[in-house]
Amino acid sequence: MIGGHYTYAEVPLFDTLKDIMGSSRNNYDKVGHFAQGFVPALIVREIVIRKKIINGVVWQAFFIISFCLGFSAFYELIEWWVALATGENSEAFLGTQDYIWDTQSDMGFALLGAILGLFALTKLHDRQLIHVRT
């Protein structure tokens, strides 16, 4: 329960990595945003294929990646709304650590997660779908 105990900026493992890499920030939140693209990509792909919503591999990939980016953008809006509501205490929730491009890099990691999820697991997923249908 790392996420329930620490704020993004205070996860000990990533503090160690920060020191090793000579970075000024703890990038634990980037792992979460990567997963925010990776996991939904697989779920959306499953739905799109089983429900036969979109034909064509390219259009399926485009839709899946777009969905993941939309999901990530919505999460960033929620973070912004929480920051507005909490005022000065928002830094611990947001985990921006004085990085002005935090929102854009969060969405970039979600994009990377979605793309890598599709590339890494499409063949395995297709084999599993064929196995389920037979």
Question: What is the C-alpha to C-alpha distance for residues 17 and 31, in angstroms, rounded to an integer?
Answer: 13
Read off the pLDDT of each residue in 66-74 and give the average, rounded to a whole number. Answer: 96
Mark out the alpha helices in 1-134 (DSSP H runs).
Answer: 2-5, 12-21, 28-50, 57-86, 90-94, 102-133
Question: What is the C-alpha to C-alpha distance for residues 23 and 1, in angstroms, rounded to an integer?
Answer: 25
Query: Could you tell me the pLDDT band of residue 3, with boundaries at 50, 70 and 90?
Result: low
Percent of the chain whose predicted confidence (pLDDT) is above 70? 84
Q: What is the mean pLDDT of the chain?
A: 85
Query: Can you give the length of the chain in residues?
Result: 134
What pLDDT was estimated at residue 43?
95
Question: What is the C-alpha to C-alpha distance for residues 49 and 127, in angstroms, rounded to an integer?
Answer: 13
Who wins on pLDDT, 95 or 14?
A: 14
| Model confidence at 22: pLDDT above 80 | no
Which pLDDT tens digit goes with each residue over 71-117? 999 999 988 888 888 776 666 556 556 777 888 989 999 999 999 99
Longest Cα–Cα distance in the chain: 57
Show me where the domains of the chain are located: 29-133
Q: Is the pTM of this model over 0.85?
A: no
| Model confidence at 70: pLDDT above 60 | yes
